[in-house]
Amino acid sequence: MRLSRGALPGWAEVLLLPLINIALAFLVVGIIVRIIGVDPFHALNRLILGAIGSSESVGYTLYYATNFIFTGLAVAIAFHGGLFNIGGEGQAYVGGLGCGLAILAFDKYLPGWLMVPLAIGAAALFGAAWAAVPAWLQAWRGSHIVITTIMFNFVASALMVYLLVNVLIAPGSMTPQSRGFGPTGQLPALPGSPLNLSTFLAIACCAAVWLFLWHTRWGYALRAMGHNPEAARYAGTDLRRMTMLGMCLSGALAGFVGVNELMGVHHRIVLDFPAGYGFAGIAVALMGRNHPLGVALAALLFGALQQGGAELAFDEPAITREMVVVIQGLVILFSGALEQLPRPWLALLLVRRG
């Protein structure tokens, strides 16, 4: 528990250190862009323009950010309980399955005002269930959640391919995807834009997670467990049940990616819709310091990068959309694993000796 070399003033700890870490990540990105032979400042300019230059691009940015909010919150809420959920990808996938199944089953019978909440609930339920298995295995059988959630990503992927190829495939279709959702199973969206009502769900989730973590006794107990399991046990918290609760909430949040993607955009169950959002959630959570507001801001940034990156790739043939993935990786590296890198220098600068 002792502070490692060089304690810093509070504001440096909360603001400066994370900012320096992100700056380092973007510095490396700049170098890579340079190596590819593109002027980094030109690229940045293009990227910003592509992300917020028109109302259409803002719509895309917000739509991407919605996914990042869901997975970022999922990682953050688990982190608060000391649990590292790398299974967001699989939970999003299965959450989408839940939402899709609910719609395929009921879209012909239920009105929209009933169908939509039901489908959202199903997404949460399925995502939570997919997270509950690794949680149960850790709490009761002692297998580590990091490994089991990774494994469950692959199992989810195999399961979805099987279901889409063999079971849910629309009759007569050649591509493995389900039949289209009826109108009651579709979320209202802006015309010509993928931006849909899920964005409000994401904002509500931010508020709910904040409320849960800092203003309910369960959130209190979850954070106590994350910071100091022994103290939590002293306080009478059942650590096993709290592990289940933390992971289920995390899985449910990840499951909402399915709502945005399937109910909001594709209007059917398709393959591979989580497309790395689950992993990117780790970057979002780390960058947002696990706080819902931070997560929302980080998600906006990543959403802008995703959209701007796509535009940039269109303009600059030398750059592909995967540049965004590189940035995600570097952000995780610098604000996660190498978090302590600038500390000694910063301490030297800020803390007077003596």
Partner 1 sequence: MDDLAAIVFLTAAATLRTATPLILCAMGGLFSERSGIVDVGLEGKMLIAAFFAAAIATITGSAWWGVAAGIVAAEIMALLHGFACITYRGNQVVSGVALNILAAGLTVVLGNAWFHQGGQTPPLDTARERLMPIFFPRAGDNVLVYVALASVPLAWWIVARTRFGLRLRAVGEMPLAVDAAGISVSWLRYRAVLLCGLFSGLAGAYVSIAQNAGFSRDMTAGQGFIALAAIIFGKWRPFPALGACLIFGLLDAIAIRLQGVVVPGLGEVPVQFIQALPYLLTMFLLAGFIGRAVAPKAIGIPYEKEH
Partner 2 sequence: MTAPPAIELSAIDKSFGGVHAVRGVSLRVESGTITGIIGENGAGKSTLMSILFGLYHADAGEIRVEGVPLRIESPRDAIAHGIGMVHQHFMLIESFTVLENLVLGVEGGFLLSHGMARARAEVERLGREYGLSVDLDARVADLSVGEQQRVEILKVLLRGARILILDEPSAVLTPQETDRLFLVLATLRERGVTVVLITHKLREIMAVTDRVFVMRRGEVVAERRTADTGPQELAELMVGRKVRLQVDKAPAHPGPVMLRAGHLRLIDGRGVPLLDDLDLEVRAGEIVAIAGVSGNGQTELLQVLAGVRAPTSGSVTICGRRFDADDPGDPAGRRAIGLAHVPEDRLRQGLVAPFQAAETSILGYQDEPRFSPRYLLDRPAIGAHCRDLMERFDVRPRMPGLRSSQFSGGNQQKLVLAREMAHQPKVLLVGQPTRGVDIGAIEFIHRELVKARDRGCAVLVVSVELDEVLSLADRVLVMFAGRIVGEVEPARADERRLGLMMAGATA
Residues that bind partner 1 (CB under 8 A): 4, 32, 36-37, 84, 86, 137, 141-144, 146-148, 150-152, 154-155, 158-159, 161-162, 165-166, 276, 279-280, 282-283, 286, 317-320, 322-330, 332-333, 336-341
189 bridge partner residues: 196
* Single-letter amino acid code for the residue at 171: P
Binding site for partner 2 (CB under 8 A): 1, 211, 214-217, 220-221, 223-224, 227-228, 230-238
Taking the mean position of all CA atoms in its chain, how far away is CA 128?
15
- Contact between 93 and 160 under an 8 Å Cβ cutoff? The reply is yes
182 binds, among partner 2, partner 1, none (CB under 5 to 8 A by kind): none
Cα–Cα distance list, 153 to 44, 88, 251 (Å): 34, 8, 12
Q: Which is nearer to partner 2, 230 or 322 (CB)?
A: 230
Q: Which is nearer to partner 1, 193 or 320 (CB)?
A: 320
223 binds, among partner 2, partner 1, none (CB under 5 to 8 A by kind): partner 2
277 binds, among partner 2, partner 1, none (CB under 5 to 8 A by kind): none
158 binds, among partner 2, partner 1, none (CB under 5 to 8 A by kind): partner 1
Q: Whose structure tokens read 């970057």?
A: 283
- Contact between 299 and 198 under an 8 Å Cβ cutoff? The reply is no
Count of alpha carbons within 13 Å of 170, Cβ hemisphere only?
A: 14
Burial string for 236-247 (b: 16+ CB within 10 Å, else e) reads ebebeebbbbbb
Q: Which is nearer to partner 1, 152 or 212 (CB)?
A: 152
Closest distance of CB 19 from partner 2, Å: 20
320 binds, among partner 1, partner 2, none (CB under 5 to 8 A by kind): partner 1
Query: Cα(281)–Cα(207) distance, rounded to whole angstroms?
Result: 18
